[in-house]
Structure 1
Amino acid sequence: MEHDKKPEATHFRLPDPALVTRTMSEVAERGQRIVTDFLKRQAGSEASPDPLNIGGAFLDMTSRLMANPARLVQAQIGFWQDYLTLWQNTARRMLGETPDPVIAEAPHDRRFKDDAWRENEVFDFIRQSYLLSARYVQTVVGSVEGLDPKAAQKVDFYTRQFVDAMSPSNFLLTNPEVLRRTAETGGENLLKGLSHLLADLERGKGRLRIRMTDDSKFRVGENIAVTPGKVVHQNDLMQLIQYAPTTDTVLKRPLLILPPWINKFYILDLRPRNSFIRWAVEQGHTVFVVSWVNPDARLAEKGFDDYMQEGIYDALSAIEQATGEREVNAIGYCLGGTLLATTLAHMAARRDTRISSATFFVTMTDFEEAGELGVFIDEEQLHCLEEQMQKRGYLEGREMATTFNMLRANDLIWSFVVNNYLLGQEPFPFDLLYWNDDSTRMPARMHSFYLRRMYQQNDLIKPGAVELLGERIDLRRIKVPCYLISTREDHIAPWKSTYRATQIYGGPIRFVLAASGHIAGIVNPPESGKYSHWVNEQLPPDPEEWFRGATELAGSWWPDWQRWILAQGREMVPARIPGSGGVAPIEDAPGSYVRAVATD
């Protein structure tokens, strides 16, 4: 009879014994090598026990919190009231009711995308319990009064790091998707995950270096960074690439692009479909791009002034030799934009007019409110960092990459922990993440100057406070037309900070705000149909006032920039073939400098 049927047992497949044996043997062998290598690297190390200077900030926060117990008690009462409601709602759900959730994750939070987090009463309780606890901890920490603003920012940042790390999605027994996969595979997902973990420790020589993408699927110059061109000039710090035209005529004024040397230039030339470089060539620009060297100890004494001289000034001379044109339009991306602004002020002091217009991609020149990167900039951390750089002559590429990944830990750290180690899956091939993992080093002298004089002391904004190549820098002397594009969700160069340049430069300025973040908001081709942008002809001192008066337009900002650049000069000339001018090609694009990998 129907009621005599027994419920079906959950299928649980036993793991392959051969796989288990092979995996555990590899674990023993590889684990020993990893530990030995790590210990060798630590030998003689005099690293600070608190290199991020977190302890002092949290000690100050705790003492101030204890000085006002009433506020703590109030927060605890609210927390327990919410928790009691959650218990009651869970009991009601088990009785067949559908009460509203006590708390929900943010719309962009993808940690709880699996349906079981809502459909199963137990996992729904775990999810909401975590969210309530996270809100309680962050509320308590954020309510402490009298804390130094820098210390408060540091406490808030590292509290969020801790809260993110404790998410139930990051653990085997509290992640329904991982439990389901473990049952389906008989635990083979965990064995594969262990193998992935060991491989990442080996890649990092004892330090965890999480693999974010299948890097075997990408080759620079083969399927990324493939826009045709030639390297037409090089020096110790950069190669200058001239790209082949795709139109019969081109704008008379060449376009010089200055990427940040914190990353490699091919973020602007990932694939043909999202390449800003290829698109600019198709719009009739003679495009030149600086490809910065990946420095080693030999370049330890290269400074910010060297990046000006061997970067922009050498590029301008080479462009004039290659095309016969003295004047260019210039683009600076992030740190490349900071270099461009500094050089424009230097050129203004010398009445050098070779840059006729300047475009700044997500560029800060006023570092007073530098966003969450400011968490890593204080005297103790800078001193520790400078000691490390003095020993090596450079900042290791992975250290910079880890800093940026921490700004979006759930997306760039914990999601891969779950995918690679718990689910045992291979990371998905993604060109942007391949680029993100292709890290670069920083010369010791340059990086120390940049962090201290700009981030820590904010000297660039002070007229005459910075002297480079014999001139005192005053950004207010910049009179060329400027186009500023920033992004609304930028964690690296907050748009309200980049907006401050509109009140500094002395020439005509257009400020545009794109949706999304530091990369996706910039690399947004018109054909993608993604991400809107905001425009406003007025430039009030308050960025919020600018935004309230702005008009939102659908799609990419690239066409808006092209219209603006054409307004600076429309004269056309026959297309220029790389190497047909006064310089001989050295090698094909993307050149050899970009292929150098930082093997820290």
Structure 2
Amino acid sequence: MTTESDTTAAAFPSLEDWQHWTQVMGRAQQMLLETWADSWKSGDPAPGLKLPNAPDPMAMLTAGAEAWGKGLEAWGQMLGGMAAAADRKDKRFAAPEWRDNPVFDTIRQSYLAISDQLMKTADQAEGLDSEAHQRLKFLTASFVDAMSPSNFALTNPQVLKATMESRGENLLTGLRHMLDDMKAGQMTHVAKGHFEVGRNLATTPGKVIHETPLYQLIQYTPTTEKVLETPLIVFPPWINRFYILDLTAEKSFVRWCVEQGITLFMVSWKSADESIKDVTLDDYVLRGQVDAIDTVRDLLGVEQVHTIGYCVAGTTLAATLALLAARGQADKVASATFFTAQVDFAHAGDLRLFLGDETMGLLGQLSADTGIVDGRVMASTFNLLRGRDLIWNYVTNNYLLGKEPPPFDLLHWNGDVTNLPAGWHRDYLETLYKGNKLVEEGGISVDGTPIDLKRIETPLYIQAGREDHIAPPQSVWKIMDHVPGPKRFVLAGSGHIAGVVNPPSAGKYQYWLNEGEPKDLDAFIEGATEHKGSWWPDWLAWLTERAPKKVDAKGARVPGKGKRQAIEDAPGRYVKTR
């Protein structure tokens, strides 16, 4: 009589079969590497992955071949010594089927052990400059993540179980999900229809009180009887929607600021179309940030404003501060806060790996007809930086298991892309990111005025994320070296988004402060004091200390009650335009 266990055993390949096919897989991987290496050697690598010249032109090939050679040896070695495989926690293999079934337990442990070996050999590769070494490690990590057995139906026990239980419906549903995503041009990260801007996202009450072809300016309705006299203007990155700072009510930085008695204004950049396809740095500085500063000063009758620049908007805010200083107008800004913003890109993050000549050429081709870079291009790039979480996790969940992704406001925002002016986007990448011209005295000019960061005396609050892969803390720290005025640096737990969007009520993460005068980030960390929870209250205390005076929340402090009439309700139509 055939037992259930006999049937199960017969349904799966034996260990010997698996060893054979993993060897086949290994040979296939080696051929992929050789093809990639040959293309690099011939000067025609994959778009965006061109390697810089190393001291020895064959160093990368040698190091790569050595790394993969050792990795291929591991395929056989690890299968014979599974006890040595790392048994660490990994959410890709959290389901009990990965351990309960000996075949899949072997697959899991083999993969983890071999992954460790490949990453170790890539990390130890010699004869490469730092940028080439970073590329090798990134490519190895990306390949390792892509080859996870959780990403393939026949090597994922959860998918096989779901297929048997649903008689294949999971695969049919997954195929439908995949085809829908292909039609939309981007992967779905959040269940459709759950979130809507203005309904359950970006709901803090306010009015659009100023509009230009480049941006809308939102003024939020006060909720306290008294407010700080000096208002705050927030400049979000133009590559994303502003409501990352106004998500659901409990996560909203905007709502929290208003509740603390801050008169808050938010810039909502227009998603690029042909009407603004030719904008430049001058536009984002003069007709964006300076215009908003002057508009608010005039509306409220104040001499100064506080400012916040998030990510790339922080980069341009530094240029704005330097411009105002050069023109004798620095007193317009009482303080500037930088959220995960870089001015010196010498030690920027993994995004530099996508700045090769081929990538620039591809951007040119994609925008040749319209002068616009489709926001989905940038979204795909950022997804690649966290491929395990933002690509392969959804391949398994959405396509193989046929499930709907769970509702998550942050990921809805992540997929709500904005289009970019192609010329300005390329210039930003070439001049600031690759050329690092902002930190050179007179390296760039705005409206004919040379920019020198050393002229900035405005008090700065600089926030970095400890685990930020887009603006690494080492890179964010560099502003401390270039700006001579008073500065306060805070290192927040988590990354580029969660490190910023961390309301006190959540009780999550932590932040570090160093009240001394550390010379670099290592010294800052060594002497830092850890504080539990959100850094927002520390920032509020710092901001209030700069300008503590309060006034009644009436007249022009109420949107539409001053000299500028309300155009429409917040969040405005610009943020809803794709």
TM-score of the pair, normalised by structure 2: 0.88
Structure 1 residue 371, shift from structure 2 partner: 1.0
- Structure 1 residue 524, shift from structure 2 partner: 0.5
Contact kept? 1:60, 1:147, Cα under 8 Å = no
Q: 2:409 aligns with which of 416, 431, 442?
A: 431
Q: Which amino acid aligns with 1:156?
A: K
Residue 452 of structure 1 is matched in structure 2 by 430
1:66 is displaced (CA, Å) by 8.3
Taking the TM superposition and a 5 Å limit, the aligned residue runs for 1:405-420 are 405-420=383-398
* Letter of the structure 2 residue corresponding to residue 160 of structure 1: A
* SS of residue paired to 2:463: strand
Which residue matches 1:187? 168
Q: Which residue of 2 aligns with 1:143?
A: 124
Gaps of at least 5 residues in structure 1 are 12-47, 90-100
In the alignment, what sits opposite 1:489? 467
Counterpart position of 2:562: 581
8 Å Cα contact 1:502-1:539 kept in structure 2: no
SS at match of 2:391: helix
Whole-angstrom CA distance in 2 between matches of 1:211 and 1:76: 35
Cα distance in structure 1, aligned partners of 2:70 and 2:192: 51
Indicate whether 1:475 and 2:453 are aligned.
Answer: yes
Q: Is the deviation greater in 559-568 or in 314-323?
A: 314-323
Cα 1:57/1:154, change in 2 over 3 Å: farther
The offset of 1:63, in angstroms, is: 3.4
User: 1:156 corresponds to which residue?
Assistant: 137
For residues 368-425 of structure 1, what are the alpha-carbon distances to aligned partners after superposition, in whole Å with 9 as ceiling and x for unaligned?
0111001011333223323433432021101100110111111101111111111111
Kindly report which structure 2 residues correspond to 1:230-249, keeping only aligned pairs within 5 A, or say none: 230-249=207-226
Q: Which ranges in structure 2 are unaligned for 5 or more consecutive residues? A: 9-43
CA contact (8 A) 2:47 2:356 kept: no
Q: How does 1:518-529 map to 2 (within 5 A)?
A: 518-529=496-507
1:311 corresponds to: 288
1:73 Cα deviation (Å)?
Answer: 7.1
Distance 1:53 1:408 in 2: 16
- 1:55 deviation in Å? 8.2
Distance 1:383 1:187 in 2: 43
Give CA-to-partner distance per residue, 1:293-343, whole Å, 9 cap, x none.
001123221001100112111111211232111200111111111111110
Structure 1 residue aligned with 2:37: none
- 1:553 pairs with 2:531: yes
Give the secondary structure class of the aligned counterpart of 1:289.
Answer: strand
1:386 matched residue in structure 2: 364
The 1:448–1:77 alpha-carbon spacing in structure 2 relative to 1, beyond 3 Å, is closer
Q: How far is the alpha carbon of 1:594 from its aligned partner?
A: 0.3
Alignment of 1:227-306 (within 5 A): 227-306=204-283
Paired residue for 1:174, among 136, 155, 179?
155
- Deviation, 1:104, is 3.2
Q: What residue identity is the alignment partner of 1:253?
A: T
Partner of 2:492: 514
Aligned partners of 2:365, 2:389: CA distance in 1, in Å?
31
SS of the residue corresponding to residue 217 of structure 1 reads coil
The RMSD of aligned alpha carbons is: 2.4
Distance in structure 1 (CA, Å) of the matches to 2:479 and 2:271: 29
State the SS of the aligned residue for 2:193: helix
8 Å contact kept, 1:64–1:145: no
Report the CA distance between 1:358 and its aligned residue.
Answer: 0.6
CA deviation after TM superposition for structure 1 residue 103, in Å: 1.2
Taking the aligned partners of 1:350 and 1:10, their CA distance within structure 2 comes to 81
1:221 aligns with 2:202: no
Contact 1:365/1:501 (CA < 8 Å) preserved in 2? yes
Determine if contact 2:78/2:110 at 8 Å carries over to the other structure: no
**Residue 61 of structure 2 aligns with which residue?**
63
Q: What is the alpha-carbon distance in structure 1 between the residues aligned to residue 255 and residue 81 of structure 2?
A: 57
Q: Say which SS state the counterpart of residue 391 (structure 1) adopts.
A: coil
Native 8 Å contact 1:322 1:579 kept in 2: no
Task: Pick which of 357-366 and 179-188 moved more.
Answer: 179-188
Distance 2:400 2:53 in 1: 34
Decide which moves more: 143-152 or 416-425.
143-152
Q: Percent same amino acid among aligned pairs?
A: 46
Q: Distance in 2 between matches of 1:125 and 1:419?
A: 22
CA distance in 2, matches of 1:310, 1:72: 52
Q: Give the CA deviation at 1:156.
A: 2.2
Q: Distance in 1 between matches of 2:263 and 2:376?
A: 34
Distance in 1 (alpha carbons) for counterparts of 2:159 and 2:4: 23
Task: Determine the structure 1 residue equivalent to 2:14.
Answer: none
SS of residue in 1 equivalent to 2:189: coil
CA contact (8 A) 2:50 2:357 kept: no
Using the TM superposition, give the Cα deviation of residue 543 of structure 1 relative to its aligned residue in structure 2, in angstroms: 0.7
